Amino acid sequence: MVNYLKQVSSFVADTNFLDLPHSAVDRARRVLVDTIAAIAAGSAEPEVMALVKRTATQTGASTLIGSGRSADPSTASFLNGTAGTFLELDEGNQFSRGHPGIHALPAIMALAEQRRSTGREFLTALIIGYEIGARIGIASKILPSMHPHGTWGTVGSAVAVAKLVGASAEKVREYINIASTLGLATSRQTMLQGGTVRNSFAGISGQMGILAWHMVESGFTGETDGLSTVWGSVSSSEWHPEEMINDLGARYEIARNYFKCHACCRYNHGALDALAMIVKERGELNTHNVSSIKVETYSLAAQLSDRRPKNTLAGKFSVPFAIATTMINKSSGVESFTWDKIRNPEIQAFADKVDVIEEPEFTAKMPEYRPSRVTIKLMDGTQLSAATMTNRGDTEDPYDDDELDQKYIELTRRVWSNSVSTAVYDDCFRVEQLKDMNELTRHFEAN
């Protein structure tokens, strides 16, 4: 497989907008509008607002989505990427076991604004950066002690930047080799313990993607094959470079992504979908009549068993809390995972009734399937149960346009008026027609 990196680099450099299939372009538009909404809504979180105030001290050519302020591209990429992960509502790719979009999009959004790139140039860079980042996730098996954010997404960001600036195949290879070693040594415990530093990992990847551009143009070089070194011997227990070129140019990962409507870690989603099935059949349940809840699920989801999360991030990575707050608030949206919900004694007490158990049979079905079964036992002994094999929003069971549009409206109204929200939405779905990406980003400055 010594030539795989040459093939990847040539694909990145040579692919243009007209080469892209309709399925990839169509889904990329939706990824764009969905990611912008996640960033805008995340910008309203108190930690993000405080970080913007401390770090965006100078104006620049790149807009901070949601706050209306601007910064240099590197800072804007970092802050927008960080905001976009805060609410756990950014899209992802189940086959890569990560979130390629939020790593690549903020960097090229910031640079496209500064460079006055066309919509076609931007959308092509997004699709290509997403593709290579996702394929690294597919080709590797990240160490179980690591969190996937901030790792291979750094390369996805760098590739997107390389495509946006029109890098040659030779330079694309250098971008990849440099960016391979600019990823983070992330800790999975950050998400399990509520370490909100985790929310910055994707933002740092975007920042490193832009840095890789500056380094290549300044004459820096990387290894001969940084991907095989990092993912073959440092951060991963397996490395299959053939996956980097399998159906390359024929199968596009962005076209088989997933979207999220539950405002929490995706590992919760199967249980929440099963809960929704029970409620749909039985009607809303009186939580005082519930004796216990058993959640049987796959290994990664079974780790999310903390019944008393200490902050909002930990709450998003807790199956007991997600079940409890959804049942009590009759919603799994943003407002069910706020600080006041974390501190709510009624929710805390109900979370104590939820047991999370790994079902080995379910674990064996990953990553194609993410099964969960929820069994609710009522005080009178009645048992209600439902199971699901996939998460809503996956390619096997996608949300429809109306559901995703409603998500967009709910998120963007945290920071924008209806007129601004509508203008952004409309421009996202005609992005390839824009002669200058500032036609879209100018809306970010309004409120």
pLDDT (tens place) for every residue of the chain, 447 residues total = 559 999 999 999 999 999 999 999 999 999 999 999 999 999 999 999 999 999 998 888 999 999 989 999 999 999 999 999 999 999 999 999 999 999 999 999 999 999 999 999 999 999 999 999 999 999 999 999 999 999 999 999 999 999 999 999 999 999 999 999 999 999 999 988 899 999 999 999 999 999 999 999 999 999 999 999 999 999 999 999 999 999 999 999 999 999 999 999 999 999 999 999 999 998 888 999 999 999 999 999 999 999 999 899 999 999 999 999 999 999 999 999 999 999 999 999 999 999 999 999 999 998 778 899 999 999 999 999 999 998 998 888 899 999 999 999 999 999 999 999 999 999 999 999 999 999 999 998 766
Torsion of CA 256, 261, 267, 269, to 10 degrees: -110
| Residues 6 or more apart whose Cβ sits within 8 Å of residue 207 | 74, 75, 77, 78, 81, 107
Cα-Cα-Cα-Cα dihedral sign, residues 182, 187, 191, 194: negative
Retrieve residue 3's tokens: 């030539």
Note the pLDDT of residue 446. 64
Q: What are phi and psi of 354, to 5 degrees?
A: -100, 120
The domain 266-388 is placed in CATH, from the list 1.10.260.40, 3.90.330.10, 3.30.1330.120, 3.40.50.300, at 3.30.1330.120
Per the omega criterion (within 30 degrees of 0), is the bond before 148 cis? Answer: no
pTM, whole model, 2 decimals? 0.93
CATH topology of domain 4-261+401-445: 2-methylcitrate dehydratase PrpD (1.10.4100)
Note the pLDDT of residue 224. 93
Residue 23 contacts residue 255 (beta carbons within 8 Å): yes
Note the pLDDT of residue 369. 86
Q: For tokens 């990092």, what's the residue?
A: 230
CA nearest to 252, candidates 18, 21, 429: 21
Note the pLDDT of residue 25. 98
CA nearest to 137, candidates 43, 244, 212: 244
Distance in angstroms (rounded) separating the CA atoms of residues 124 and 161: 11
| Residues 6 or more apart whose Cβ sits within 8 Å of residue 49 | 43, 67
From the CB of residue 300, how many other CB atoms can be counted at a distance below 10 Å?
A: 18
Distance in angstroms (rounded) separating the CA atoms of residues 248 and 192: 35
Distance in angstroms (rounded) separating the CA atoms of residues 175 and 389: 39
Collect contacts of 57-61 with beta carbons under 8 A, ≥24 apart.
60/114, 61/113, 61/114
Residue 254 contacts residue 130 (beta carbons within 8 Å): yes
Q: HSE (CB half, 13 Å, CA atoms) of 260?
A: 31
From the CB of residue 83, how many other CB atoms can be counted at a distance below 10 Å?
A: 32
Q: For tokens 């290579």, what's the residue?
A: 132
Note the pLDDT of residue 68. 85
Distance in angstroms (rounded) separating the CA atoms of residues 161 and 164: 5
Classified as helix, coil or strand, 303 is: coil
Please report which residue ranges of 283-330 form alpha helices under DSSP H: 299-302, 312-316, 319-329
Distance in angstroms (rounded) separating the CA atoms of residues 278 and 198: 33
Retrieve residue 413's tokens: 């109204």
Output Rg (C-alpha) for the chain, integer angstroms.
21
Domains 4-261+401-445 and 266-388 share a fold: no
What does the angle CA 120 – CA 122 – CA 444 come to, to the nearest 5 degrees? 115
Note the pLDDT of residue 10. 97
- Domain positions in the chain: 4-261+401-445, 266-388
**Interval 160-173: pLDDT, tens:** 999 999 999 999 99
Q: Which residues pair with 294 in a beta bridge?
A: 355, 375
Note the pLDDT of residue 264. 94
The secondary structure of residue 445, as a DSSP letter, is: G
